[in-house]
Structure 1
Amino acid sequence: MRFLKLILFSILTFGTLIFLTSLLFPSTAVVERTGVIHAPIDTVYAHVNDLKAWVQWNPWARPDTTATLEYSDPAYGAGAYYTWKGKQSTGKVTILDSEPDKGVHYLMDIEGLKPVHGGIELKHTADGKATAIFWHMEIKLGLLPWWKLRGFVADRIYGPTMDQALNQLSAICENRH
């Protein structure tokens, strides 16, 4: 009985220590990527503002091959959204605001995960011949230790996919220009 009490006390102490230590970790994870697309800003904006165009360049817009996608009408601009239901995940992306020559901000809700607030910001390059793009995602992690630990690897989880998406977007926009 004494051994059982010692084990329970150890587990409780260890759990409390992990929780208190996790309070020192940031409660928000941010992943950012930048790039330059050699195409006019209106060409790039057309692809980031239209959710139906996301399927061409954004891997998260087609979460799995079994997913069914449904779009709002219209599928572009502030308030536009799409939903998906598949074997692997269910979710919704909503454009919160959209401005030509500036970009879009969106909210991505995936069932079972924390909401992701994102933005794809656009600017003219100094020479005016290309578009500078800044894509950022912010995830509020909350207080639970396992979510905060996930924040430490957020860049490794989401960063390569963002790089791939920006490269694909760049190729599409540059070929249309």
Structure 2
Amino acid sequence: MRLLKLLVISVIILGGMMFLLSLLFPSTAVVERTGAIHAPIDTVYAHISNLKDWEQWNPWARPDTTATLVYSNPPAGAGAWYSWEGKENSGRVTVLASDPSKGIHYLLEIKNMRPVTGGIELKPTADGKSTAIFWHMEIKLGLLPWWKLRGFVSDRIYGPSMDSGLTKLSKICEGK
């Protein structure tokens, strides 16, 4: 009985210490990628603002191949959205802001996951012949230790997919 009591107390103390330690971790995870696309801003904007085009370049546009996609009408501009319902998951992307000279900001909501706010910002490069692109995502992690620990690996989890998406977008916009 004494051993069981000691085990329970140890688990409670260890859990409390982990929770208190996790309070020192950031409650937001940010993943960012940048690049340059050798195409004018209006060409790049046309592909990022129209949610139907996302399937060609965005690594998460069709997270489940069995998913049914539904798009708003029109599928571009502020307020545009698309949703999916599949065997593995369901979710929705909503464009919060859209500006042809600056890019878009969006909200990504996936069932049983934390909401993600993101943006794809555009500006001309110094020579004016290309477009500089900045893709960022911000995930509010909350207070639970296991979510905060996931924040430390967010860049390793999502970064390579973002790199792949920017590469595909670049090839599409450059006509390769």
Name the aligned partner's letter for residue 78 of structure 2: A
Please give the root-mean-square deviation of Cα atoms over the aligned residues, in Å: 0.7
Match of 2:81 in 1: 81
SS at match of 2:149: helix
Instruction: Write out aligned runs for 1:59-70 (5 A).
Output: 59-70=59-70
Instruction: Give unmatched runs, 5+ long, in structure 2.
Output: none
Aligned residues: 176
Cα deviation, residue 43, structure 1: 0.2
Match of 1:6 in 2: 6
Output the TM-score relative to the length of structure 2: 0.99
Cα deviation, residue 64, structure 1: 1.5
Does residue 117 of structure 2 align to residue 107 of structure 1? no
Deviations, residues 111-132 of structure 1 (Å, cap 9, x unaligned): 0110000000000000100000
Instruction: Write out aligned runs for 1:1-177 (5 A).
Output: 1-175=1-175
Cα deviation, residue 89, structure 1: 1.1
Structure 2 CA distance for aligned equivalents of residues 159 and 87 of structure 1: 25
Structure 2 CA distance for aligned equivalents of residues 35 and 110 of structure 1: 27
- Among all aligned residue pairs of Structure 1 and Structure 2, give the percentage whose two residues are the same amino acid: 70
Name the aligned partner's letter for residue 72 of structure 1: S
SS at match of 2:142: coil
Instruction: Give unmatched runs, 5+ long, in structure 1.
Output: none
Displaced runs of 4 or more, over 3 A: none
Structure 1 CA distance for aligned equivalents of residues 161 and 48 of structure 2: 16
SS at match of 1:113: coil
